[in-house]
Amino acid sequence: MKMKKFLSLCLAATMTVGVLGGCGDGGSSGGSTGGNDGGNSSGGVEEITFMVWDDLDASSDLITQGYKQSIDRFNKDYEGKYHCKVVSTNLEEYYTKLNAEVAANNTPDVFIVSPGPNLDDYVLPGTAAKLDSYLNADGWKGTFTSDAVFAGGTYGAEAKDGAGIYAVPLNIAAACVFYNTEMFEDAGAKVPKTYSELLDACKKLDAKGYTPITISAGTAWCLSMVAGYLCDRNGLNLDDVYEKKTDWYDAKVIKAGEQIQELSQYFQPTAAADDNDVATAAFYDGEAAILIQGSWAIGQINGSCEPGFEKKVGVFAFPAVDGSSADPNRVIAKSDSLAMSATSQHKDAAIALIKYFVDDTAQKYTAEVGGKIPVTKVQYDESVAPPELAYVMDVFKNANATFGFYNESLADTEAGSTFDSCFVEIFKGTDPKTALKPIQDYYEANVWK
């Protein structure tokens, strides 16, 4: 008897599915869907796909929300002509999914990418299109701050399609040290200029019962950002490593490892398990005093923190290492960039979309709301922009040079992950020389051949 109930349920289910399926079909003939099938147009609208690493609808990150606004403006202005369909994944699996789309000849028309080995993966085999002709048309290139902003997207003859620019930057983020001014004041800690002063500040904060530093070793790149800074401040030159003038057992890397271990006594106790979100939240919630993070944090602070919190936040450059001759005014910088598929059927639409990300409205938003450094000569209102941006701009202006995130600056993506994991091991207490073996081995097997 119960069987009947079950069968009728099934039947109902089938019917629902049928009806829904019908709805879906009706919808697609209306021209709004079409999946990743290259955006074949229906009803004269050219559809392009845009792939991005954050959920545009749900994210509280203001930079992400800015991207959504650009797309919305594009869709509205070109209604009936172009339409942009967004494919979003989360950051962790972004390149994976993008690779899969590329492998299936489904490359999205426009996709976001970080310059470095990640971009290499698309430029070298000719997946990404050369953009010079578009940039040079109508003086588009002249609207950008300088040619230097294109450095990360510029390739030489090693690219399949020849030397040129393959990615348009959208904004620049610099990795800085954010600190809670109230806690610093309360503990009598000073803004540190050197590593030993940083230890001293941590000691004071710790004595007052604050968690001095919040950091994530559960998401490996966060810890490795600090490791990258320490390596750099100790004077390591990545090119030397690449050319095998030195190796990963270099005393400078070992020293950076020992410093991570020394600092780790001031990390929150759950650092090993916390992912990036949890670790940053501890700073935003006023549980920890120091957060070492990219300046995209500004967009998050202003997007998701208690109102008023942003007034408590100060920013300083990563301290120098005492006794090291390395330039202490080097900043880790990263730009989100857009690349276009070389096989796109709708290149004009794609370029039109990219322009919406770097037009004045979008770039003003980037600075005033998102708190990232804009890439065009746009005039923005500094009084509206988050106060932290001014600090970050200071750090950035004082910088003598920028360098990339270590995990995005090594020989390839797997080398980057290996570097990250080595420093997680060091953080967990393994002797630096032992912990660095995997990256040394990886370079021996794959890079220094």
Partner 1 sequence: MDKLLRKKSYIIMFLAPAFILFTAVLIVPIITAIYYSLCDYKVNTDATFVGFQNYIDLFTKDPDFATGMKNSLFFMVFSCITQLIFGLILAALLTNIKKGRNFFKNVYYLPCVLSSAALGLMWYFVFSPKYGINKIFEGLGWLERADKGTQWLSDTSGFIILPIIVISFVALWQYVGQSMMLYMAQISGISKDIYEAASIDGCSRTQSFFRITLPLIKPMVATAMSLNAIGSLKFFDLIYSMVPESMRGKNGGAHVLATNLYEQGLRYSKYGYACAIGIVLLVMCLLVTFLINKFVKTESYDM
Partner 2 sequence: MKIDVDNSMVEKDKTKRKVVKILIYALLIFLVFVYILPLLWILMSSMKDNAVFKSTPWDLPKSFNVDNYVFAWTKGKLGIATLNSFIVSTMTLIIALIVGSMAAFAIARLRFKFSKLVLTYFMIGMMIPIHCVLFSLYTQFASWKLTDSLPGLIIPYVAFSLPITIYIMVGFFESIPNELFEAAVIDGCSVPRLFTTVGLPLAKTGFMVTGLMAFVNNWNELLFATVFISDDSRKTLPVALTKFVGPHSTNYTQMFAGIVIAVIPTIIVYCIFANQIVEGLTAGAVKG
- Classify residue 247 by its DSSP letter: -
261 binds partner 1 (CB under 8 A): no
Tokens coding 379: 């005039």
Nearer to partner 2, 254 or 281 (CB): 281
Is residue 1 within the footprint of partner 2 (CB under 8 A)?
Answer: no
Name which position in 147, 243, 262, 285 contacts partner 2 (CB under 8 A).
Answer: 285
Contact present, 201 and 316 (Cβ < 8 Å):
no
Contact pattern from residue 98 through residue 117 relative to partner 2, giving x for each residue in contact according to CB under 8 A and a dash for the rest: --xx-xxxx-----------
Q: Cα 92 vs. chain centroid, distance in angstroms?
A: 11
Question: Is the CB of residue 332 less than 8 Å from the CB of residue 404?
Answer: yes
What span, in angstroms and rounded, lies between the C-alpha atoms of 98 and 85?
15
Q: What are the distances in angstroms from CA 278 to CA 62, 215, 221, 284, 296?
A: 18, 9, 14, 10, 16
Distance, in Å, from the CA atom of 55 to the CA atom of 72, rounded to the nearest integer, reads: 14
Beta-sheet strands, E only, within 40-183: 46-52, 82-88, 110-113, 154-155, 164-165, 168-180
Please, which residue, 172 or 424, has the CB nearer to partner 1?
Answer: 424
> Residue from 273, 306, 311, 434 that binds partner 1 (CB under 8 A)?
273
Exactly one of 214, 280, 341, 407 binds partner 2 (CB under 8 A); which one? 280
Q: Which is nearer to partner 2, 46 or 101 (CB)?
A: 101
Q: Which residue stretch of 46-54, 77-85, 234-242, 412-420 sits at the interface with partner 1 (rule: CB under 8 A)?
A: 412-420
- Closest approach of Cβ 259 to partner 1, in Å? 20
Task: Examine residue 88 and tell whether it contacts partner 2 (CB under 8 A).
Answer: yes
Binding string to partner 1 for residues 223 to 252, with x set by CB under 8 A, is what?
------------------------------
Cβ proximity to partner 2, 103 vs 445, nearer residue: 103
Look at residue 445 and give the partner it binds from partner 1, partner 2, none, a contact being a CB closer than 5 to 8 Å depending on partner kind.
partner 1
Partner whose footprint covers residue 300, from partner 1, partner 2, none (CB < 5 to 8 Å by kind): partner 2
Nearest to 414 by CA among 4, 135, 96: 96
Contact predicate 51/112, CB 8 Å:
yes
The answer to whether the beta carbons of residues 170 and 353 sit under 8 Å apart is no
**Residue given tokens 């699996």 in the structure block:** 93
Would you mind telling me the total number of residues written for the chain in this entry? 449
Residue 393's binding partner out of partner 2, partner 1, none, with CB under 5 to 8 Å set by partner kind: none
Residues forming contacts to partner 1 in the complex (CB under 8 A) are: 92-93, 95-96, 99-100, 102-103, 121, 125, 127, 217-220, 268-270, 272-275, 413-414, 417-418, 420-422, 424-425, 428, 438, 445
